[in-house]
Structure 1
Amino acid sequence: MTPALLGALIEARAHRRPAVLATRLADGSQHLLVEPVGRGMVEMDPRLLDAARTAVRTDRSGTVMLADEEWFLQVHLPAPRLLLVGAVHVAQALAPLAGAVGLAVSVIDPRQGFATEERFPGIPLLRSWPDEALATLGIDSRTAVVTLSHEARLDDPALDAALASEAFYVGALGSRKTQAARRERLRAMGHGEAAIARLHGPVGLAIGAVGPQEIALSIVSELVAVRRGAALGTRLPAP
């Protein structure tokens, strides 16, 4: 890999942009295709661009044959992450469990008494308002956002930002009655039915969870199902 390609790859990683390193096996010629794949590369073989987009979508590196040329496509995707709004008991159980399945977790809560290192050892804490924190972090297609605070002043701005983003998962803790009121507030903010249908609320799979640990398990299970495209990750709109 040339220094220029390495520098471009490092920059893509720093900005959480998916990238594909395409290597022609016959001669070692390389191209780095950064998401949006093919940007500024109008001279590139469109078949290579399509193969790179497929590799990004499936998160799968491998060899492809294009005409009579064999290419190895190496996918570089930003680490999947989970942004938790509300440093509550469920968040304390959820953060380490999500980390165990490969999600990089951050906790957002401006309440100093909740967001402490003692309650969340080793977890990055952002003690600012959710809309400010999410704007700083950025929400991409490798990001999940879950609100847990039960306070509209914290949860609603976070959901507003998340539903307007490419987040692969958006969830909110609360009863069906709470969810109905929340959806009405989101409509008032200007979100259409397609955006609101993305909201997993009540959050988590319906496993009869009781207590923070079981609720955390239900949330992580649904997150994994959505990431992997499993049927369990599909939720019917709440009545």
Structure 2
Amino acid sequence: MSPEIAAALAAARAEKRPVVLATRLPDGAQRLLPDGAAPAALAEWAEVLLRTDRSETRDLAGERWFLRPYNPPLRLILVGAVHIAQALVPLAQALGLDPVVVDPRLALATEERFPASHRVTDWPDEALDALGLDARSAVVVLTHDPKLDDPALDRALRSDAFYIGALGSRKSHAARLERLAALGHARESLARIRGPVGLAIGAVTAAEIALSIIAEIVAVLRAAPLGAGR
């Protein structure tokens, strides 16, 4: 790897910018994608690999290339320091998602309940503004309290978050959508919210609900054709 490519790659990772390192085989020539001068087929392939987090070797226009994506870390922002969040944190960590627990209720967002995890005790809208949601962020609201859930969903809908989920019944979710529509969110935008959150696995306990949520997040991340709603 040339010093120029190494420096550009380091800069992209420091800025949390997704890039793909393309290496032409067998001569070893390299470039970082996206690159405006790259052939369209190469650029399109790079976009696919960024979405799937996979490295691949492929022949394009008579040349053999190896492409390796460098994505920013995945984050799971949990609004509500509740029992389901306690079950979700270790699952997220095991799958490589960096969990952040957001809850201004100091009695719940404690070190004892969430050891070795990032906790933010600001109000959800302020917390999500500071965290800077991006296309590598998943947001799940768990409090059942519109004062906490709605501001978080408002911010998530205005971001590029790849997953937005909300705990609650279908009836409470319908009411939630009406409140968010009153804030100016269009029907197409509101359709991004997975509610009731989680895959339909018959989940009952906090651990089972957490499993259904994390499974749905993975399904969305990997573009798997799975249904939603417990």
SS at match of 2:129: helix
The one-letter amino acid of 1:123's match is S
**Offset at residue 204 of structure 1 (A):** 1.2
* 1:32 match: 32
Is 2:123 the partner of 1:129? yes
| Selected match of 2:190 from 196, 199, 223 | 196
SS at match of 2:164: strand
Runs of 4 or more, structure 1, over 4 Å off, are: none
SS at match of 2:134: coil
Find the aligned partners of 1:54 and 1:231 in 2 and give their Cα distance: 17
The one-letter amino acid of 2:63's match is E
* 1:205 match: 199
Q: Runs of 5+ in structure 2 lacking a partner?
A: none
Find the aligned partners of 2:179 and 2:142 in 1 and give their Cα distance: 17
- Larger mean Cα displacement after TM superposition, 166-175 or 47-56: 47-56
Q: Cα distance 1:136–1:14, how it changes in 2: closer, same or farther (>3 A)?
A: farther
Find the aligned partners of 1:193 and 1:14 in 2 and give their Cα distance: 36
Q: Cα distance 1:67–1:214, how it changes in 2: closer, same or farther (>3 A)?
A: closer
Q: Cα distance 1:139–1:176, how it changes in 2: closer, same or farther (>3 A)?
A: same
- Native 8 Å contact 2:198 2:216 kept in 1: yes
SS at match of 1:63: strand
* 2:11 match: 11
Is 2:130 the partner of 1:164? no
Q: Cα distance 1:96–1:67, how it changes in 2: closer, same or farther (>3 A)?
A: same
Find the aligned partners of 2:197 and 2:42 in 1 and give their Cα distance: 39
Find the aligned partners of 1:170 and 1:220 in 2 and give their Cα distance: 12
SS at match of 1:57: helix
Identical-residue share of aligned pairs (%): 58
**Offset at residue 57 of structure 1 (A):** 2.9
Find the aligned partners of 1:61 and 1:208 in 2 and give their Cα distance: 35
The one-letter amino acid of 2:77's match is L
SS at match of 1:231: coil
Q: Runs of 5+ in structure 1 lacking a partner?
A: none
**Offset at residue 47 of structure 1 (A):** 3.0
**Offset at residue 101 of structure 1 (A):** 2.4
Find the aligned partners of 1:207 and 1:64 in 2 and give their Cα distance: 38
SS at match of 1:131: helix
- Native 8 Å contact 2:52 2:222 kept in 1: no
- Native 8 Å contact 1:26 1:69 kept in 2: no
* 1:79 match: 73
The residue correspondences of 1:103-114 to structure 2 (distance < 5 A) are: 103-114=97-108
Find the aligned partners of 1:46 and 1:208 in 2 and give their Cα distance: 45
Find the aligned partners of 1:47 and 1:100 in 2 and give their Cα distance: 35
- Native 8 Å contact 1:20 1:76 kept in 2: yes
CA RMSD of aligned residues (A): 1.8
Q: Cα distance 1:92–1:6, how it changes in 2: closer, same or farther (>3 A)?
A: same
**Offset at residue 148 of structure 1 (A):** 0.8
The two structures have a TM-score, normalised by structure 2, of 0.91
The two structures have a TM-score, normalised by structure 1, of 0.88
Find the aligned partners of 2:61 and 2:29 in 1 and give their Cα distance: 16
How many matched pairs?
A: 229
The residue correspondences of 1:177-188 to structure 2 (distance < 5 A) are: 177-188=171-182
